[in-house]
Structure 1
């Protein structure tokens, strides 16, 4: 799954979903390098925010939606 975003990026920038044999090596190298650089970025980012709990965030979203839609109905 980690290769998916770099692959999408290279496809978008190059304008091709599947490179020709002549371009396959450069295409694959670009995907690999972008994945590598992205991992370096993620490894170096610093945050002071506490980690979020998916279930807690989902419950907050459900509460906001319930409030929003109850306001619209009434």
Structure 2
């Protein structure tokens, strides 16, 4: 759906409030088609971001797994490797 939205569940340390809000913002941007809403739509946009963030927070805290928590640095390195393979090396 939106490549900017990252998996937030099962990481050590857990997802921060900022990460949850950023993912929620990207989701609402995608749904609305606005990267920045007009003044007329700003309140509805912000309300939607807060509601999505609350739902995401509830989901993340409710989920259970027996898998070991993922390491952010390892996952970021894997993502960089996938990007390099897909798009080629730059620089």
Unmatched segments (≥5 aa) in structure 2? 1-17, 79-91
TM-score (norm 1): 0.66
Q: Aligned residue for 1:36?
A: 54
The alignment status of 1:16 with 2:34, answered yes or no, reads yes
SS in 2 for 1:31: helix
- RCO comparison, higher one (Cα < 8 Å, 6+): 2
Residue segments in structure 1 that go unaligned for 5+ positions in a row? 62-74
Rg bigger for which structure?
1
Distance 2:45 2:36 in 1: 9
Normalised by the length of structure 2, the TM-score is 0.55
More helix by share: 1
**Greater fraction strand:** 2
